[in-house]
Amino acid sequence: MRVRKVQLTSFRNHAESSLEFTGGINFITGANAQGKTSILEALSYVCLTKSFLQQADATVPKFGGERFAVDAILETDKNIVNHVRVAFDGAAGKRYFLDSNEVRRSADVIGMFPIVVLSPGDFALTGGSPAERRKFADLVLSQVSRSYLEEVTEYRRALKQRNKILLDGKLSNAFDGDLLSAWTDALIAHGSKVMARREKFVNEFQDAFSASYRSLVDSGEVPGLRYEPSFRVETDIESDFRKAIRELGRAERARGATLAGPHRDDISFTLNGMPLKEFASQGQHKTFLVAMKMAEFGYIRGMLGETPAMLLDDVMTELDYSRATRVIQAVGTLGQAFVTATDMLSFDDKMLDARETKFHFVREGSVVYENA
């Protein structure tokens, strides 16, 4: 997939900005707070229906307004051209249009125009809380499987309902055992499916991950990924899930919350069999992160048969020079990339020679082309 054009209307500090992109590497440069990241955010809206920054839609309209719109021309690997429009209005909410037909469920478009984002917010992936890693797995799986997205949504709903019963019971000190058990069954039915998908995903992802790690580091280090469920799986997920809930019964009632299930999963990283979290250097964490993102690119492309676009936000400052260069070169030879940076000097000639490149200079919410 490649983005040919995008137009931002009343989006963050962009009143009206239009950009035409190359299918190779697009460098978006400018000083701080001029609106570079906003352009990547707009691309996230048209491809994933939402911002990768995890911010509410209502924060996006340009100061003083209630609306924003993003229009984009997207072209798939099979050269099918789509016009996508995302329009937000404080009163009516967000609406998504694909070739002027409204798409009501985001699940119907997520995965059509895949993207992989590497932004400063991702640096918590390897060292941060388990929630970061669950979010990663969910985002990748949602892009390759619509049924996973629905399954995880239903699981969250069942979890909320069950937690309400536990919390009400804790506060009133009265439990309806039959009611709780019905929601336990619904929780286990959906949760087991979510867990099975995540386990399979981690196993499949492992190979792509090892390969991209080795392309970054010339050493004999063996990186590893392991799926870590919230309870021990010995026979099969469903019956062990049930066993865990049974054993946690008293604790759940005391805490007023569900204590086992995919909402407490983790994915652990290892290097030569040792847990990354405990001993790795900052540099090794960064290498792991970059390897994860490159593997995500390869995994999504393999599963969907559609090349994702790579959005690299401020990686030149966050990563060191050689890692950043390698990741840009690697994805730049495979598909379309968008790279934001404060100055052009940080890109060296090797990067620029690799593929067709284009520079977009952003100043105070406008895009300027020097030689145009």
Partner 1 sequence: MIYTSQALETLIGEFSKLPGIGRKTAQRLALHLLKAESEDAERLAAAILDVKRRIRYCSVCLNITEKDPCSICSDAGRDHASICVVEDPSDVIALEKTNEFHGVYHVLGGALSPLEGITPDQLRVRELLNRLRGGVTEVILAMNPDVEGEATTIYLGNLLKPLGIRVTRIARGVPVGGDLEFADEATLVRALEGRIVV
Give yes or no for residue 181 binding partner 1 (CB under 8 A): yes
Q: Which of 18, 55, 161, 239 binds partner 1 (CB under 8 A)?
A: 161
Cβ neighbours around 175 below 10 Å, total: 15
d(C-alpha 178, C-alpha 349), whole Å: 68
Answer whether 69's CB lies under 8 Å from 10's CB.
yes
Q: Which of 92, 179, 251, 274 binds partner 1 (CB under 8 A)?
A: 179
Task: Please list the alpha-helical segments (H only) found in the chain.
Answer: 36-48, 124-127, 130-144, 146-172, 177-216, 237-247, 249-255, 276-279, 282-304, 315-318, 321-332, 349-354
Q: Tokens at residue 181, please?
A: 């058990």
Identity of the amino acid at 368:
V
Which range touches partner 1 (CB under 8 A), out of 82-90, 161-169, 259-267, 282-290? 161-169
Residues β-bridged to residue 84: 72, 98
Answer whether 162's CB lies under 8 Å from 187's CB.
yes
Give yes or no for residue 62 binding partner 1 (CB under 8 A): no
Binding mask 92-131 for partner 1 (x = CB under 8 A): ---------------xx-----------------------
d(C-alpha 340, C-alpha 21), whole Å: 14
Which residues between 26 and 55 bind partner 1 (CB under 8 A)? Answer: none
Which residues between 128 and 147 bind partner 1 (CB under 8 A)? Answer: 145-147
Give yes or no for residue 16 binding partner 1 (CB under 8 A): no
Q: Are strands 25-29 and 357-363 parallel, antiparallel or unpaired?
A: parallel
Give yes or no for residue 160 binding partner 1 (CB under 8 A): yes
CB of 144 to partner 1, least distance (A): 11
d(C-alpha 309, C-alpha 331), whole Å: 9
CA-closest candidate to residue 314, choices 299, 328, 297: 328
Residue number, 107 or 334, with CB nearest to partner 1: 107
d(C-alpha 335, C-alpha 333), whole Å: 6
Residue number, 14 or 162, with CB nearest to partner 1: 162
Residue number, 17 or 145, with CB nearest to partner 1: 145
Q: Which of 186, 303, 352, 354 binds partner 1 (CB under 8 A)?
A: 186
CB of 360 to partner 1, least distance (A): 37
Residue number, 108 or 364, with CB nearest to partner 1: 108
Q: Which of 16, 102, 168, 343 binds partner 1 (CB under 8 A)?
A: 168
Give yes or no for residue 306 binding partner 1 (CB under 8 A): no
Percentage helix, strand, coil for the chain under 3-state DSSP, each rounded to 5: 50, 25, 30
Sheet bearing 2-11, strands edge to edge: 14-20, 2-11, 67-75, 81-89, 93-98, 101-103
CB of 104 to partner 1, least distance (A): 12
Number of residues that bind partner 1 (CB under 8 A): 26
Answer whether 116's CB lies under 8 Å from 296's CB.
yes
Answer whether 124's CB lies under 8 Å from 92's CB.
no
Q: Which of 176, 204, 348, 356 binds partner 1 (CB under 8 A)?
A: 176
Q: Which of 164, 200, 226, 363 binds partner 1 (CB under 8 A)?
A: 164
Q: Which of 78, 100, 178, 219 binds partner 1 (CB under 8 A)?
A: 178
Give yes or no for residue 165 binding partner 1 (CB under 8 A): yes
Give yes or no for residue 189 binding partner 1 (CB under 8 A): yes
Residue number, 91 or 372, with CB nearest to partner 1: 91
CB of 93 to partner 1, least distance (A): 15
State phi, psi for 339 to the nearest 5 degrees: -125, 120
Residue number, 214 or 253, with CB nearest to partner 1: 253
**Rule CB under 8 A: which residues touch partner 1?**
107-108, 145-147, 150-151, 154, 157-158, 160-162, 164-165, 168, 176, 178-179, 181-183, 185-186, 189-190
